[in-house]
Structures are given as structure tokens and as C-alpha cells.
Amino acid sequence: MLHILRRDPGRKRKVLIVEDSEINIHYLTVIVGREYDVICAANGQEALDALRMQPGNVSLILLDLIMPVMDGYEFMNEFHAHPEEYGIAPVIVLTADREAEVESLRRGAADFIPKPLDYPEVILARIERSIALEEDSRLVRNNERDPLTLLYSRNFFMEYVRQFDLTDPEVPMDAAVIVLNRFYMLMDIYGRQFIRKVLKAISDELHRILPETGGLACRSDPGCFLMYLPHREDYDDICSRLAAIIRDVTGNTRVNIHMGIYQNVLKSLDAEQRYERASLLCYDNKNSYKTSCYYYSDEVHDKEIFNERLIMMMDTAIREKQFVVYYQPKYVIQGKRPKLHSAEALVRWVHPDMGLISPGIFIPLFEENGLVYRLDRYVWSEAARQVRLWHDKFQKKIPVSVNVSRTDIYAPELENELSDLLTLHSLDYDDLLLEITESAYTDDSAQIIETAKKLRDKGFKIEMDDFGTGYSSLSMLTSLPIDALKLDMSFVRKMLDSPRELKLIRLILDIARFLNIPAIAEGVEKEEQCNLLKEMGCDLIQGYYFSKPVPPEDFEKLIQKELEAA
Ligand code: C2E
Ligand code: CA
Ligand code: CA
């Protein structure tokens, strides 16, 4: 027997009365019907049938315990076991038996209404309170977890981390971050469904890992997960496990993750700060195609702070002329004696407190932060001024090569800026040579080729720096607008010990000959290296064997010496 007694088209909530006594049904329907839509069922089975027809539509169930066909206990077992089928709603048990209350609670009842039935106001108040409680906790439930991965959402996770610490303050804990590399690029290329599949695979694996490790996890940003685990050492294994799963579900080796781990977190740091530390290195190389694990350490922290300081100090440093340009000579070695030919301008940072800082430290940092262009412009201008000065002082042309950073090539007015500099100092195009590292060509060949062409159309000469590290293809090389090849130092460093390296040098010198451009070897420290390179047909040499990079005053001594030898 299932009667729908009232249906209000308004936004009334629905209450299901499960009761076999006609008198009680009537009484309850009248009272409850004042505030709610009412559905009635004569036993547990009818109630389940009614709920199955509209899961989630019922806000509360009033349940008698003793009924034919299916009693109240059995109903509660079935109802609570299958929320996906019947929905979730608080159950208020109607009973005259105090002992039944305990058993009902065990089976998930939210409250009781004693029989014989009480004042209408009391009944309505109990119903209202139970519905309000359930709706509040549903709100929490819905926001607590990320619907796709069923992991905690970030805010709840952070709160649970705090609670975890309060309950177990002595347990050493680790904070771990998992980042899906190139997230938005993958989304663009493979689409949303693909990304969801990958994220689901990661989270499924996290659901498997958590029972083994203890701790908790959440989905933080769209492509990022956080874990808070009792301290352990096997993160490399966890990382490989995740990588393997991703490979399995995608069949694609270009989809990968970075994992950042901050072990034995300082509990005095707040949760957010711990994850900042864990992710510090995680976002480095985020465009990489490799899965890697990064561990936070005090050194990493200090380095990060140091880098931050360098970035902050850059403006002042330029203003106060703390950047000093050194010059390292390049010598022509073919011929009777080596002759001073040109120089490379190499910047140094002479910091008032920190002393001399090597460009190997700050240049990559400034490249990353888009600051390098300003510094390079300063160096170019210093170098141009210096070339003019030497020209006037010694009546001798000493061309100087300047480094053009991989990010400078995106500056829209690069060629004009550089040629203005020449005009300003009355220099020719072959007075200021441009070194561009080979890897810039392979990183973004379209842009670099366009920029290099523009520069050469103006008249500039371009030297390809660090050649042999960037994997240019032979066919690419022949079409590249370049005027000289600079062998990467690593070849020269190993040439005396490794026949393979020697062979590679020979090969590169052949390529230069084929392209009909001079080859320059740098990092030459020994006479033996110099002689061998000369024998193999290398044109120019730069290295400690002749001179380290030196300040302009010292470089003048080299010019003087050259003039005297000539
Ligand atoms: P690079 O352009 O490949 O410069 C050559 C580096 O090798 C210089 O290091 C130089 O001092 C060093 N070197 C030269 N000969 C020898 C040798 O015989 N043995 C050894 N062990 N090293 C030698 P440095 O001056 O520390 O510069 C490092 C890098 O920083 C440069 O590599 C270049 O990429 C970058 N850099 C330096 N100055 C500038 C600049 O003004 N602008 C830009 N964008 N980059 C610069
Ligand atoms: Ca260089
Ligand atoms: Ca180089």
C-alpha cells in the first residue's frame, strides 16, 4: 500500500512515513503534512520500492520498527547499505521500546520519536532538526572531496593535516607534491577526456597507496596532488609506480610527473609553507619529458633564498655598475705564431658584500625570470664602448663577441637596438660579433632562425656557441644563418683522454670546413690541446692556455704584447 497524500508544487521537502498502523499514519500525515510533502509506505519493502523510484528525493524517513513483510531494522540495513540505490536521508525511529533505541542507533538511526506519539510541535521540531543536520553534513560531504578523484579537496586536506598534527604531534611526517607535467599543453593536445583519464589513474593509485602508507592525499590544483604521509624513504618507488600506471593507461611516454618531497616536515611551519617547500623544485623543468623525484633540503632552501636575493638586487646592481665586463682573448693559431684576433665579453657581478659572483650562477636565473635582456643590453653597450676605446687607443681593431641569450631572441627590436649601438660608437658590423648558444636553435628553431636572419640581413656575424650540445641535425646546420662554430668546451676537456671525443672534434671541424666557416675551440688549457687542435685544422682558440677572462686594463697588456710581436 503506497499512498501519495499530498504533493505541493512548491519547494517543500519530502518525508517518507513507514508505518503499518492506519491510525498512526493518519495522525502523522496530518501533522507532518503541515510542513512537508508526505509519502507513506506500509512496511520496509514498500518503503525501499518508493525510495528506489526517486533516490535522493526524500529528505527524511519516519520509521516504525515492527511491521509485516520487512521490519524497521531490516529496512535500515538495506537502506544504509545501498545509498546509490536509495539515496541518503536521516531516519527517525518511532518506538515505544527504550531498548530498541540502542539497536536502532547501531543501525544508523538519527533520532527517535517515542510512542505513543507526542505533541505535534515536538514531532515537527525533531524532523526539522534532523533534516537541517543532514543537509549541513551533505554540504560538507560534497565539498570535502574532489568529485573526479574522490580525494580530499585542498581546503579540507589542509585542515585534516592540522588535525593530524594535533592528534599525533610526535609522528615524523613528509609532505609530497605530485605534478602532472605540461598539464595545459596535454589538455590542448589530447583533450579533457584524456586528462581526466590520467588524473583518475593517478588518484586510483593513490587510493591504493594510502592504505599501505597511512596518511592522506588531496587533489590540489587541476594537475596537482598533495600527500601527507608518515615519514618514509621509498618515494622513488612511489614515483615509479605512478609513472608506470600513467604509461599503462595512456600508452604514451611523453606524459609524466614530477614529485617533490619535503621529508620530516618542521611542524612549526604551517601546512601551506610545507607544501611550498615540497614543490620548490617540482616546478623546475616542468616542461620536461621525464618523470623525476625532487627532494627538498636545507641547501635547496638556501639556494632559493639566495636566488631570490639576486633577482631583487639586479636593478640596484645595474644602477651602481656592479656588473663588470671581462674580456677573454681569442687567438688565431694557424700560422707561425698565435695572433690575438678578438675577444669574448663575459660579465661578472662584483657585489659589495658577496664578492665576485660567476655568470654561471646568475645568467640562467635571469634567463628564467626574463631579466637577462636588460643585463645583456648593458653588457653589449659596455663592450661596444670598449671596442671603440681600444680602436682609438691602439689603432687596432679588436672585435668583441657578446653573448646573446636564448631569451633575447624574442626581443622585437633586437637587430635595431644592436645596430643603433654600432652607430652610437661608430663601429662596423664585424666589430661586435654575436654568440648564440646552439641549444637555442634546437629549442625554438623557427624563432631563432627568423631572428638570426634579421640580424645577418643587417650585417651582423653570428657565432654558434657551445656547438655539439644542442643536437642540431646536419640538414638543419646547412640552412642555418651562421658565420662561425664554437666547439663546446666539453669536447676539448676530454680530448686528450678520449679517442671518441677526439673523433667528434675532427667531425665538427669537418662540418665547419664543409659550411666554409671558421671553427673556434674554447676551454683550451694545455699546450698539447692547442697543438692537436692546430694540427686538426681548428682556426681560433680561446682558453686559459692563452688567458683567463680579464678586466679591460689587463686585456690592454695583451694588446700591447701583440703590437710588440707584430
Ligand atoms: P660561455 O659563453 O660558453 O663562455 C665560456 C665560459 O668558459 C666562460 O665562463 C669562460 O670564463 C670559461 N672558460 C674560458 N676558457 C676556459 C678554460 O680554459 N677552462 C675553463 N674551465 N673555463 C674556461 P664564465 O665567464 O663563467 O661564463 C659562463 C657562461 O655564462 C658563459 O658561457 C655564458 O653562457 C654566460 N655568460 C657570461 N657572460 C654573459 C653575458 O654577458 N650575457 C649572457 N647572456 N651570458 C653570459
Ligand atoms: Ca659564449
Ligand atoms: Ca661556450
Comparing CA positions, the residue from 463, 377, 387, 480 lying closest to residue 420 is 377
Identify whether the C-beta of residue 105 lies closer than 8 Å to the C-beta of residue 73: no
Residue 261 phi/psi, 5-degree rounding, is: -130, 130
Q: Where are the domains of the chain?
A: 2-144, 152-296, 306-565
Residue ranges near ligand 2 (ion) with Cβ within 5 Å: 403, 435, 465
**What is the spatial distance between Cα 362 and Cα 355, in angstroms, rounded to a whole number?**
13
Identify whether the C-beta of residue 175 lies closer than 8 Å to the C-beta of residue 278: yes
For 427-464, letters b (16+ CB in 10 Å) and e give bebebbbbbbbbbbbeeebeebbebbeebbeeebbbbb
Ligand lying closest to the C-alpha of residue 346:
1
pLDDT tens across the length of the chain (566 residues):
333 333 334 468 999 999 999 999 999 999 999 999 999 999 999 999 999 998 778 999 999 999 999 999 999 999 999 888 898 899 999 988 888 888 888 888 999 888 887 788 889 999 999 998 988 888 777 788 888 999 999 988 999 999 989 888 899 999 999 999 888 888 888 899 999 999 999 999 999 999 999 999 999 988 999 999 999 999 999 999 999 999 999 888 788 899 999 999 999 898 999 999 999 888 776 556 788 899 999 888 888 889 889 999 999 999 999 999 999 999 999 999 999 999 999 999 999 999 999 999 999 999 988 899 999 999 999 999 999 999 999 999 999 999 999 889 999 899 999 999 999 999 999 999 999 998 887 777 788 889 999 999 999 999 999 998 766 666 677 778 899 999 999 999 999 999 999 999 999 999 999 999 999 999 999 999 999 999 999 999 999 999 999 999 999 999 999 999 98
Distance of CA 492 to the CA centre of its chain: 36
Ligand lying closest to the C-alpha of residue 438:
3
Q: Is 367 in the pocket of ligand 1 (CB under 6 A)?
A: no
CATH tag for 306-565 (out of 3.20.20.450, 3.40.50.720, 3.30.70.360, 1.20.1070.10):
3.20.20.450
Choose the catalytic residue: 438, 463, 522, 562. 522
Ligand 3 centroid to Cα of residue 441, in Å, is 14
Domain spanning 152-296, CATH class: alpha beta
Whether cis (ω within 30° of 0) applies to the bond prior to 116 is yes
Residue 288 is predicted with a pLDDT of: 65
Q: Is 468 in the pocket of ligand 1 (CB under 6 A)?
A: no
Q: CB-side exposure of 417: number of CA atoms within 13 Å?
A: 16
Closest Cα to atom 13, ligand 1: which residue?
523
Q: Is 470 in the pocket of ligand 1 (CB under 6 A)?
A: no
Q: Is 465 in the pocket of ligand 1 (CB under 6 A)?
A: yes
Helix/strand/coil (H/E/C) assignment for every residue in 289-326: CCCEEEECCHHHHHHHHHHHHHHHHHHHHHHCCCEEEE
Q: Is 356 in the pocket of ligand 1 (CB under 6 A)?
A: no
Ligand 1 centroid to Cα of residue 501, in Å, is 21
Ligand lying closest to the C-alpha of residue 328:
1
pTM score over 0.85: no
Atom of ligand 1 nearest to the CA of 408: 44
Domain spanning 2-144, CATH architecture:
3-Layer(aba) Sandwich (3.40)
Identify whether the C-beta of residue 495 lies closer than 8 Å to the C-beta of residue 529: yes
